[in-house]
Structure 1
Amino acid sequence: MSLKARFISLSVVLVLSVAMFSLFFVQAYHSRFPVLQRMFYGAASTAAATGEHANADYSPYPGLKAGRSQPDGHYYRNRVLVLMYHDVSPSPTDVHSLSASNFERQLQLMKDNNFHWITMSQYRNFILHDRPVPENAVLLTFDDGYESFYKYAYPLLKKYGAPATSFLIVGTVGNPKMPGVEKLTWDQVREMHRSGIDFYSHTYNLHYYAPTDARGKHPEPVLSSRLYLKDKGRRETENEYESRVDADLKQANEVLKQELGENDHVLAFPYGAFSESLLRICRKRGIDVTLTVKSGLNKPGQTNGFRLNAGGMSNNPELQLALMKEAQQRLGHAHFDRSPTYKRYAIVSSVVAAFAFAAWIYFGIALFRQRRASSAPANHTPHF
């Protein structure tokens, strides 16, 4: 290959490697640099990343407007939108609580606009085996096992014929000694289960934050993090962490099996926090479907699922329905953080670019010298 051909080839490699480095750098670090976030992902994404609401009326998705009912509406196919709720009460006093009237309005709007509720069994078969689901499929889920689910949400679910799944902090069920909002009893759970409500694990008792270092300034969700062991003056080892988590999930499964007669194959992560280690533990424990709190649409094979928060005092049922109608466009491209992978790709592409640049300089100088030598006037020996 001639020097010119080598120089041109290296120029192409250099341009491509720099472009790839730039792409992966932006994808890996955009959340740390607001300028990059705004330039490449827009204001809505910036608001979502920082926790601020671009649309103060409801969500980080701007431009939503309530529309007319569409009894024959077609919004998405071969996808499932999973909605997440917590507390439902007649007169909420907590920002995370949804009013019963707004919840009923949500159900009515979904029914009037051709959304179809499915069961957890249908969802698992869809995710694991690509079994068909209705168009505009919706799975309703409730976290934490609050007694308000039995008092206020359950009657409305029965009224509208809507199936639902409740994720229990198993160790708190029927346990009046547990602090916090009053939880369900096993009698209530069994009654609802006989009526078709599904119950799965939200852990046995790993729904809280704890320190992961000696200073204790940055507590993390205990299900997904290795904790600081004060008595030993160090963090848990990976084996200690896995043993602790596996024991909790095993206990939750055993209690659910004893009380409801079914194995626990589904887990909703507290706070949506997870790790590769945690996913591996779940697989070993036979938990084949997990759910987070990140918004998105779910497709076959998406065993770690997205959920859209549909609760809270600020919920606007009409705007939520508008978002659900646009789920394919607004939520259909969601993915979990791939920063570690992108960082590795950025490093590799930067190394390739560095070598390509060094070779480009070397062959560029050689080509320059060759051209200068070929253009110099020939030396002729004088004749006498």
Structure 2
Amino acid sequence: MFKKIKKLLLIVFIVFLLVFSSLLLWVSTNYSVPIIMYHNVGVGDKYENIWVTVDNFEKQLNFLKGHKYNVISLDKLIDMMNKDKSIPRNTVVLTFDDGEVNNFENAFPILKRHGLTATFFVPPAKIGKTGRLSVDQLRTMHEGGMEIGSHGNNEAYLPDLSESEQRNEIFKSKEILEKMLGAKVNHISYPVGGFSEEIKTIVKEAGYTSASTTNRGTDYSNKDVYELKRIRLSNKDNSDFLLRVKFSGYYNVFRKGKNSK
């Protein structure tokens, strides 16, 4: 009788080890640093999903600070990934698309006050246009510790363009921004998230060290630095539960399941 119990306990222990090992492997394989995507900070009259009010933006940053998240630049994240360094599980990267003037008027002062950094993806051809960032504002943000990246030259949807047009959007935007800022521009965000393997090749040729998309592609663990998935935050994300989920590092896995249905 004792031998049977001992054997049963051994089997249970082995099963437990197998399940625990599988769980650890799943956690390790499916985790990715959450790269947050913003567009506008303020009050918008349309496209609610790309707007967050000043109060909610403040609340989201307070959540990050209060729960001791490690907010780092995209530059630092890519460097750590390329060097295969261990990245703390509470790490978060903040990004903004489109180069809207409210990024300077509303987001930048709040980020500065909290001592946080973010990457702002800007289309150079739109700089100085109505509602868009000016050259002086971009320089002030860059000098204030913000990272500036490309959003294509004209914010055009790259898959719809010819190869020569794609090259112009990708190369020219980098060249203009670098000349404007007097600094390297290492990152690009695909407008509307659109990319292909051919576009990724052009991005690499241009000298970018990373490229961000939206929720397109199949690399849900963000192993490929040229198709980094991002997580949108908007006014709908105004509860601690939703913020915990989106900052968890496993939100992309949820979206993978959702998109596969």
Aligning the two structures, in what range does the TM-score lie when normalised by the shorter sequence? Answer: 0.7 to 0.9
The equivalent residue for 1:21 is: none
- Identity of aligned pairs, percent? 26
Q: 1:97 aligns with which of 51, 67, 70?
A: 51
Specify the alignment match of 2:39 in structure 1: 86
Does residue 128 of the first structure (1) align with residue 120 of the second (2)?
A: no
The alpha-carbon deviation at position 331 of structure 1 amounts to 2.5
Amino acid at match of 2:38: Y
Distance in 1 separating the partners of 2:241 and 2:254: 20
> TM-score of the superposition, structure 2-length normalised?
0.78
Contact 1:79 1:298 in 2 (8 A): yes
Q: Which amino acid aligns with 2:124?
A: V
1:116: how far off?
1.0
- C-alpha displacement at 1:253, in angstroms? 1.2
Distance apart, 1:98 and its partner CA: 0.7
Is this contact kept in 1: 2:71–2:116, CA < 8 A? Answer: yes
Q: Deviations over 1:113-149 (max 9, x none)?
A: 2311001221120232223433311000000000001
Q: Does 1:320 align with 2:255?
A: no
1:206 to 155, 159, 162: 155
Query: Post-superposition shift, 1:288?
Result: 2.9
- Is residue 249 from structure 1 mapped to residue 184 from structure 2 by the alignment? no
Which amino acid letter does the alignment assign opposite residue 70 of structure 2? H
Q: Give the distance between the partners of 1:251 and 1:184, measured in 2 at CA.
A: 18
Structure 1 residue 192: deviation in Å?
1.0
Give the direction of change, closer, same or farther, for the CA distance of 1:206–1:246 in structure 2 (3 Å limit).
Answer: same
- Matched AA of 1:88: V
| 1:83-133 residue CA offsets vs partner (Å, 9 max, x unmatched) | 0000101x3323121101001000111111231100122112023222343
- 2:94 equivalent among 101, 120, 140: 140
* Contact 2:177–2:185 (Cα < 8 Å) also in 1: yes
Contact 2:237 2:243 in 1 (8 A): no
Q: Distance in 1 between matches of 2:182 and 2:176?
A: 9
Name the larger-Rg structure.
1
- Aligned residue in 1 for 2:24: none
The one-letter amino acid of 1:160's match is H
Alignment partner, residue 307 of structure 1: 230
- The aligned counterpart of 2:145 is 196
Please say if residues 88 and 152 of structure 1, whose CA atoms lie closer than 8 Å, have aligned partners that are also in contact: yes
Give the alignment partner of residue 276 of structure 1, picking from 187, 190, 197.
Answer: 197
* SS of aligned partner of 1:305: coil
Secondary structure at the counterpart of residue 140 of structure 1: strand
- The 8 Å contact of residues 204 and 251 in structure 1, kept in 2 or not, is answered as yes
Conserved in 2, the CA contact under 8 Å of 1:81 and 1:137?
A: yes
* 141-150 or 261-270, larger mean C-alpha shift: 261-270
Q: What's 2:183 paired with? A: 262
Q: Offset of 1:287 from its aligned partner? A: 2.0
Cα distance, 1:281–1:122 mapped onto 2, change above 3 Å: same
CA 1:334–1:286: 2 relative to 1, 3 Å = farther
CA distance in 2, matches of 1:299, 1:277: 19
Query: In the comparison of the two structures, how many residue pairs are matched?
Result: 228
Alpha-carbon deviation of 1:175? 3.3
TM-score, normalising length from structure 1? 0.54
Q: Which among 151, 155, 159 is matched to residue 224 of structure 1?
A: 159
C-alpha separation in 1, matches of 2:237 and 2:195 = 27
Q: How does 1:108-187 map to 2 (within 5 A)?
A: 108-176=62-130, 182-187=131-136
Contact 1:127–1:301 (CA<8 Å) still a contact in 2? Answer: no
Question: Contact 1:87/1:97 (CA < 8 Å) preserved in 2?
Answer: yes
Aligned to 1:60: none
Within-5 A mapping of 1:229-244: 241-244=162-165
Q: Distance in 2 between matches of 1:265 and 1:327?
A: 24
Distance between the aligned counterparts of 1:297 and 1:111, measured in 2? 26
Distance in 2, matches of 1:315 and 1:78, equals 21
Q: 1:273 is matched by which residue type in structure 2?
A: G
Instruction: Indicate conservation of the 8 Å contact 1:88/1:149, yes or no.
Output: yes
Contact 1:84 1:140 in 2 (8 A): yes
Q: For residues 360-375 of structure 1, what are the structure 2 equivalents within 5 Å? A: none
Q: Give unpaired runs (5+ residues) of structure 2.
A: 1-26
2-structure distance, mates of 1:301, 1:159: 33
